Structure 1
Amino acid sequence: MSALEFLGPAVVTTLCLGWSRPGWIALGVGFALVGLLVPPAARLAERQATLVSARVADQRP
């Protein structure tokens, strides 16, 4: 079990139950920021996959 799997529920519980409304807002802002990072990360992954497949194609006899 990774540390994130262990800490994730504790962080969400602390934010939502311990901080009440500001915790929910912080959690929502965090999810929104991560959501904004998904498209650039997907484009980067697509470019990397294209480069790797091009290298593999160049190495074939």
Structure 2
Amino acid sequence: MSIFEKSKVKSENIMIRVTPNQKAVIKDRANNKGMTVSEYLLSLCGQDIAGPAARPFAGTGPKGG
């Protein structure tokens, strides 16, 4: 592959179910960081699972997290 050849990246659509409250939080956090929702979710995927991103909606679940 030459330097100027674009690498082939496989992509796929992923759907997740979220509550209206979770959707609002995701949109707000993405907006606050100047990102699209897709960019924000992809950035979360790149974080260490043991870090704060592992519980992005703490306190919003049926038992408070």
- Taking structure 2 as the reference length, the TM-score comes to 0.26
- Taking structure 1 as the reference length, the TM-score comes to 0.26
More helix as a share of residues: 1
Higher relative contact order (CA 8 A, sep 6+): 2
> Whose radius of gyration is greater, 1 or 2?
1
